[in-house]
Amino acid sequence: MVQIGYTMMAEQAGPRELVDHVVAAERAGFDFSVTSDHYFPWLAEQGHAPYAWSVLGAAAQATSRIPLMTYVTCPTVRYHPAVVAQKAATVQLLAEGRFRLGLGSGENLNEHVVGGGWPAAHVRLEMLEEAVEIIRALFAGGDVSHHGTHYDVENARLWDLPDPLPPIGIAVSGERSCELAGRLGDLVIATEPKGELLDAFDRHGGGGKPRIGQLPVCFDTDRDAAVERAHEQFRWFGGGWKVNAELPGPAAFAGATRFVRPEDVAESIPCGSDVGAFVEAVRPYADAGFTEIALVQVGGEHQRPFIDWAEKELLPALREL
């Protein structure tokens, strides 16, 4: 059975609200949760970007069952991988084994803030590979020193190590990232229902490992209002990661999507309250072989109505998948 998750999308709600939302999602019966890790929202209309790791610590204490996960953290520019390893170990202890560390090569949108420039795509993947190796070494315990192509680590050690260690997921978008995920990851992460990504992941050692997808949805009893909100806040989504990873800020995303129409957004994001339309939007992920699918409800102020509706109508229908 495909597991259905809830997304704490930090770009569209404040920290206390995000924790309240995931508590409600746990009560409603969602199978797992994920959270984004941003310094900026995609568009100014979304209006938020709290520190994800503080939110995760609070969520770990406020919940008792629902798994938590970063979807995803970039461990290469804004954060040093040695610090990511410490953060992940601590959240895993707070969550009592319910945390998974999702990693990816990041977006200029968030990573530019430290002034280190934005590397080319192939360099970002090199950095991600080295970062994962450092995190794995620290998870193994003991003192770690590392002098590599992109990072230095000097006599580091994690003094509070959880058991079990957080599984590491790696986000993919092409053959090279799939090779990295299959070789170094415990699970794979993708935002499009492309079976070829999972096939490549399997070829490189990912066979039998979990595979997690994500889908934006926009519930509202007024479908026109849902379409308008999805367009206002999520029209960036259709740009694809080759574009989305490069743009430097919300103004750039606003400019790049100025000709996107509401009906264009509604073609890729189910809007309204028709359960069947939501199920059909999830189905391609299940058919492609994803074992877990995290839903993103568009609109920070519209989470509780969505969660209540999901508990009563959507989740029972999706269990049939």
Catalytic residues: 38, 107
Asked whether 303 and 220 are in contact (CB, 8 A), the reply is no
266 neighbors 235 (Cβ within 8 angstroms): no
**Could you give the C-alpha distances from 315 to 28, 112, 138, in angstroms and in order?**
9, 38, 38
Report the Cα 159 to chain-centroid distance in Å: 27
Query: At a CB cut-off of 8 Å and minimum separation 6, what does 207 contact?
Result: none
- Compute the distance between CA of residue 114 and CA of residue 119 in angstroms, rounded to an integer: 13
| H helix and E strand count, the chain | 14, 11
Q: What is the Cα 261 distance to its own chain's centre?
A: 26
From CA 67, how far away is CA 31, in angstroms rounded?
A: 7
Integer Cα distance of 241 and 107 in angstroms: 9
